[in-house]
């Protein structure tokens, strides 16, 4: 319990040190080159199971332009971590909030190099709201926990991918993570920080949340403009007016006492990723990294538009039994 409480305000660090089974933890780096010709997601993680033959650590790579994905499995013992800060190693690769060093070699992927991150924009933390999950961060039985490492930051460095050198100097990045027993049975997630205004970043998710003997439709949405973060979430008292999903787009509208926010994401082809479901790491998560999201923020009292823009190179992940959460 002490370890659990000590890490509530540190969603980025490893939470599975005392876990024996039915647990996953994964970190998500989204990286865009300055010429915007290369978009990658790098996802290191670990999966623990009562069936020890299924336990392993992993590094996933998603190429957002070619919609290709790669899943490199490692032994569970190849996963190493620092207890009090975000530093993990898997095989010969290293991951933290400030840099990643990749040394990957498989039949279809050879990826080596280092990237460095600066000017990270964190989700604000307070005692009552120690992360993006608000007071739910204190609930020990959540099926899936979520954390933001950085809403927006600069990227520098170079990667060599199957012999091709790619510079990321002056690029942009985003970082988050998930941990728990399973992904939600249904969810929508979207993210972009490539607006005309480089200080703007948007992230939003809606999911079915198991709760005691029932469940509810939970949501967390953040729009960062400069240094100001507009937050809409179940725990802030905001209201999700609707969530619509079809083969071409997904849209949601949310409001609180002061503001209305509408987000409309274009659905594009994605690559298949592995995710934790029913005590398995299953390749069933279709995620795009080249969608577009239109975002509008309106002052509810005056009707004045505070912000309106379209973000490109957007992450979009729509999965599960959507009838559980759509209108």
* pLDDT, one tens digit for every residue, the chain (327 residues): 566 667 888 999 999 999 999 999 999 999 999 999 999 999 999 999 999 999 999 999 999 999 999 999 999 999 999 999 999 999 999 999 999 999 999 999 999 999 999 999 999 999 999 999 999 999 999 999 999 999 999 999 999 999 999 999 999 999 999 999 999 999 999 999 999 999 999 999 999 999 999 999 999 999 999 999 999 999 999 999 999 999 899 999 999 999 999 999 998 888 889 999 878 899 878 899 999 999 999 999 999 999 999 999 999 999 999 999 999
| Confidence (pLDDT) at 220 | 98
Contacts of 235 (CB under 8 A, 6+ apart): 129, 133, 134, 135, 136
| Confidence (pLDDT) at 3 | 67
Cα separation, 281 vs 22, in Å, equals 11
Q: What pTM was computed for the model?
A: 0.96
DSSP letters of 23-79?
EEEEEEEEEE-TTS--EEEEEEEEEE-SSGGG-EEEEEEEETTTTEEEEEEE-GGGE
Alpha helices in 101-157 (DSSP H): none
Contacts of 1 (CB under 8 A, 6+ apart): none
| Confidence (pLDDT) at 23 | 96
Cα separation, 127 vs 140, in Å, equals 16
Q: Where exactly are the structural domains of the chain?
A: 23-324
CB atoms within 10 A of CB 135: 11
| Confidence (pLDDT) at 41 | 97
| Confidence (pLDDT) at 285 | 82
Cα separation, 182 vs 285, in Å, equals 13
**Beta strands 271-277 and 280-299, pairing class:** antiparallel
| Confidence (pLDDT) at 124 | 95
């Amino acid at each position: 319990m002490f370890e659990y409480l000590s890490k509530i305000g540190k969603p980025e660090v490893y939470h599975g040190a005392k876990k024996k089974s039915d647990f996953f933890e994964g970190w998500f780096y989204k990286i865009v080159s300055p010429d915007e010709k290369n978009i990658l997601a790098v996802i290191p993680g670990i999966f623990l199971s009562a069936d020890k033959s299924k336990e392993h650590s992993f590094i996933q790579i998603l190429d957002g332009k070619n919609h290709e994905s790669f899943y490199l499995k490692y032994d569970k013992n190849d996963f190493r971590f620092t207890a009090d800060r975000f530093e993990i190693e898997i095989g010969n690769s290293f991951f933290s909030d400030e840099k990643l060093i990749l040394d990957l070699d498989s039949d279809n992927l050879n990826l080596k190099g280092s990237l460095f991150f600066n000017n990270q924009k964190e989700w604000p933390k307070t005692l009552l709201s120690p992360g993006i999950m608000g007071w739910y961060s204190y609930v020990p039985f959540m099926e899936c926990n979520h954390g933001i490492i950085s809403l927006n930051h600069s990227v520098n460095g170079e990667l060599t991918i199957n012999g091709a050198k790619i510079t990321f100097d002056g690029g942009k990045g985003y970082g988050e993570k998930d941990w728990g027993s399973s992904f939600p049975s249904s969810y929508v997630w979207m993210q972009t920080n490539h607006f005309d205004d480089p200080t703007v970043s948007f992230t939003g998710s809606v999911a079915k949340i198991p709760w005691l003997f029932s469940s509810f439709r939970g949501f967390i949405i953040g729009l960062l403009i400069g240094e100001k973060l507009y937050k809409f979430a179940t725990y802030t008292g905001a209201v999700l007016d609707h969530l619509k999903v079809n083969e071409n787009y997904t849209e949601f509208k949310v409001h609180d006492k002061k503001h209305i926010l509408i987000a409309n994401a274009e659905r594009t082809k994605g690559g298949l990723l592995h995710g934790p479901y029913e005590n398995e790491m299953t390749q069933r998560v279709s995620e795009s990294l080249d969608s577009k999201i239109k975002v509008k923020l309106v002052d509810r009292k005056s009707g004045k538009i505070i912000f309106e823009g379209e973000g490109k190179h957007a992450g979009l992940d729509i999965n599960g039994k959507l009838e559980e959460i759509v209108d």
